[in-house]
A and B are shown apart, each in its own frame.
Chain A
Amino acid sequence: MILTGAQILWESLMKEGVDLVFGYPGGCILPAYDAMLDYPVRHVLVRHEQGAAHMADGYARASGKVGVAVATSGPGATNLTTGIANAMLDSIPTVFITGQVPSHLLGSDAFQETDVTGITLPITKHNCIVRTPDELARAMKEAFAIARGGRPGPVLVDICKDALQKKAEFVWPDSVSLPGLRAFEAPSPKDLERAADLIGQAERPLILAGHGVIKSGAMQALQQFAERTHTPVALTLLGLGGFPASHPLSLGMMGMHGEAYVNQAIQQADLLLAFGMRFDDRVTGNLKTYAPHAKKVHVEIDRSEIGKNVAVDVGIAADLRTTIEALNAIVPEYRHNAWLKTIGAGQQETRGRDIIHQPDSGNLYAAHVIHDLWQATEGNAIVVTDVGQHQMWEAQYYPHERPRSLITSGGLGTMGFALPAAIGAKMARPDAEVWVVAGDGGFQMTQCELATLQQEQLDIKIAVVNNGYLGMVRQWQEFFYDKRYAATPMLSPDFVKLAEAYGIDGKRVTKRAEVIPTVQAARTSGAATLIDFRVVKEEAVYPMVPAGANLDAMIRRPVTEEVQA
């Protein structure tokens, strides 16, 4: 079949089962847009290419499938880069397609020419440039195989305009043979035995579960393992939902804003079982004093993560689900009642300090907003957060029972992520209730996508946690820079009117009593709603491990008289 490169592009996407792309047209990608009209694919027109990248990312996180975004050359491609880097740091399977100037103009500084493969080299799992149409089908097949293979990640295919216009025979390769793309390795029996021995010797074991649990579909295996070995489970931010929050062995989030008793447990443990996580600095604090009494078993698909930050006793570079299932088959049952009691005591102390249990002072706290949102949605929503204080409060006060119910930017910490990622998530799971939780700062970075939301008629609910500050930065200034609030007080538009300008219902909430009724009204309206929650301006996320400090050297919420009483 002789086709134009543009047709080959869409034929390839059809072969990969893609029926939805997020993008923005422009000169060099125009042949692809022209051909698109002849294919059964839904195109979501974004308002800024960063939005397209986050939408593809959100779509991939919500569905587990590969998300696809399209942009033109030059500025179109450079606008994607924040979103590409975001997908890279959180290992999200995504394919980015960019137009490029015609091949004979490459390197001439032609109009809208940028060295896109050069720019994206360190922020993609792989990228390539396609100069002729006969290379295109293979490049696309490889892109999808690389994006979803092993540790997933973003792949960018940069296509010259003439490669889209010229014709070639369309041949879809049966398979790909890439030297650097390696098949999953099974855990070796010897390593499994060594891990099982350490599990048998442990008196204070702890599971550290990360994003890998969700990516490898290891939720059931993990729960079985935890119950069998009576081992409590602490989660990374991206691991939330990988183990049911209501499970008696669930400890919740660890790290910088994890609860104090969780971090103390890590420091006291004699065995850490790190499952599908990478010992990021936000979860370890000072590496020199990290978990000093613990032997470490690290199961991680990416071999280069093992021993990168933390030296381990047993490293298993293999698929997590396969590994946990293999462990379940060989470990006997254990009971660790004394250890769980120790952790439980810390849990009680933490509960006493929690703002949720303090009497209503008449103020609207973000923690209350998130807590009430959880109650009103019965914990069943997909929550898509932005980055900052509200993100940490979400992680603390919206318990997640199921995987892929929290979508958040972890590694890169990208403000502006929430709204576009929620659009992607809603399109992946149209029947799910999708809530954006964003701060007033981050929301303004990509609020232009309200128009995309409306053009696509998506029923997404938006909670803006509005404190008039870049809250997390302000908190660092409060704790570490003598309250010198440089460039953190922030003026915002009237979000209610802003929503209305886009044809979206806008509501404002200033009192706690209004939270649940307003959320319930939004849930039943059947249309998109934005709620502007005017919360206490200078509130901090507690507890907090200062960057680089020892994990148990936490700044705790000051104990008030109310709490002591």
Chain B
Amino acid sequence: MKHTLVARVQDEPGVLNRVSSLFRRRSFNIDSLTVGGSETKDFSRMTIVVDTARTPARLVEENLRKLIPIAEVRDVTDMPTVDRDLALIRVRCDASARAEVTQLAEIFRGKIVDVAVDSVIVEVTGDSGKVDGLVDLLRPRGILEMVRTGKVAMVRGTASVAAAS
């Protein structure tokens, strides 16, 4: 089972290292981890997707909470959230196939952001399932390179993670 944890952390050197060191030493399995800016200047925001086959999500959460620079952690798995993952996919595609690849991308609200002689880069944003869907469709054509940001998440409605702390 995958759980999504959202954390607000002090923006200071080494904080990512503290989180990853905790996961490594306790054998918590990270699926994806993203870190970036937040609404507050000195705080960053992390979205961590963990595989909880071995460790209950609550224990992962409680261990994160023990790290001094972590202001708040929330398991948002069972909450209504907006989830986004962004992928850049370089797919094999000569001139004759461009129209079809473009059409496929559009179905997933993706777009072509770069064109080369025998390939294009497709950009797609959405929840992980949607991105996976497009990747599956493009794979038979030959995916030459791909990068995904990993999931970021935000709870719908008014309850912010910051307000919870």
Hey, which bits of chain A sit against chain B, CB under 8 A? Answer: 117-118, 121-122, 125-126, 146, 178-182, 302-304, 306-308
Contacts and interface: CB of A to CB of B under 8 A. Distances in A.
Given A118-B17, A121-B21, A306-B62, 8 more contacts: A126-B68, A179-B8, A179-B71, A180-B69, A180-B70, A304-B59, A307-B58, A308-B59
B10 interface: yes
Contacts, number: 41
Nearest to A150: B66
Contacts of A180: 65-71
A126 B69 CA distance: 9
Given A179-B165, A304-B59, A308-B59, A121 B68 contact: no
Interface of B: 8, 10, 14, 17-18, 21, 25, 56, 58-59, 62-63, 65-72, 165
Contacts of B8: 179
B73 to A, nearest CB: 10
Nearest to B63: A304
A117 B62 CA distance: 23
Nearest to A179: B71
B25 A302 contact: no
Closest 3 CB pairs of A and B: A179-B71, A304-B62, A180-B68
Q: Chain B's interface: helix, strand, loop or mixed, by majority? A: mixed
Nearest to B165: A179
B68 to A, nearest CB: 4
Contact of A179 (B10, B18, B25, B59): B10
B68 A117 contact: no
Given A126-B68, A179-B72, A181-B68, A117 B59 contact: no
Contacts of B18: 121
Contacts of A117: 14
A307 B62 CA distance: 11
B132 to A, nearest CB: 33
B25 A122 contact: yes
A115 B10 CA distance: 22
Contacts of A182: 65
B62 A179 contact: no
Contacts of A304: 59, 62-63, 65-66
Interface centre among A125, A302, A306, A308 (most CB of B within 10 A): A308
Given A180-B68, A181-B68, A122 B62 contact: no
18 contacts: A121-B18, A121-B21, A122-B25, A125-B68, A179-B69, A179-B70, A179-B72, A179-B165, A180-B65, A180-B66, A180-B68, A180-B70, A181-B68, A304-B59, A304-B62, A304-B63, A304-B66, A307-B58
Contacts of A307: 56, 58-59
Between A126, A179, A182, A303, the greatest number of chain B beta carbons within 10 A of the residue's beta carbon is seen for A179
Nearest to B21: A121
B90 to A, nearest CB: 35
A302 B66 contact: yes
B68 A146 contact: yes
